[in-house]
Amino acid sequence: MRVGLLFIVLMAAWLLMSGHYNGLLISLGVISVGFCVWLSHAINATDEEGLPTHIFARLPAYLLWLFGEIIKSNYATAKFILNGRSDPEIFSVTATQNSAAGIATYANSITLTPGTVTLDIDEEAAKDQLLVHALHADFGEDVRGNDMDRRVTALEAPTTRHSKGGAS
């Protein structure tokens, strides 16, 4: 079931990104995707952590919200740069996600949002701490407001906490 779903998702992504729909290219896509799915299955990467199907229903809403945040942050970043009002800061925030994939999603979402970059993840802390650089204190306040953290945690909600070593 998971292998078939992975094939469908990867093939759909390949078709959308390719933009070319002739027999040769589609057959090469099927071969490429088939090889990737076979390889993923061979290394046991089609488990719950490797292919988190439980987030599929909530993922479009999260991505839509994230794209909106990226657009708003792009505009704010351009204003700060054009007005010469950069006032960078580095700070830590706590990640409340239940899995390594959730923490990585949160860290990458921070980095995708212009004006902020996740510099480090401290997994040795009692709760995972992310070291974040912000172009201006306003961007830092957005991250410290924990809205993104809350949304990523809600995205992965049904999972249970996995150990840091990757074993379940």
Helix (H) or strand (E) holding 77: helix 59-83
How much is the pLDDT for 166? 46
Report the CATH fold assignment for 57-155: Alpha-Beta Plaits (3.30.70)
Residue type, 114: P
pLDDT (tens digit, 0 to 9) for every residue of the chain, 168 residues total?
788 888 998 999 999 998 888 999 899 999 999 999 999 889 988 777 777 777 888 889 999 999 999 999 999 999 988 988 788 999 999 999 888 888 999 999 999 999 999 999 988 877 889 999 999 888 989 899 999 999 999 988 764 444 444 444
Q: Rounded to whole angstroms, how far apart are CA atoms 150 and 40?
A: 30
Q: Rounded to whole angstroms, how far apart are CA atoms 101 and 103?
A: 5
| Number of residues written out for the chain | 168
Maximum pairwise Cα distance, the chain: 54
Per domain, the residue ranges of the chain are 2-42, 57-155
Q: Determine the distance from the C-alpha atom of residue 97 to the mean position of all C-alpha atoms in its chain, rounded to a whole number.
A: 12
Strand pairing class (89-94; 129-134): antiparallel
Q: Rounded to whole angstroms, how far apart are CA atoms 10 and 50?
A: 14
How much is the pLDDT for 158? 67
Q: 3-state DSSP call for residue 33?
A: helix
Stated pTM of the model: 0.74
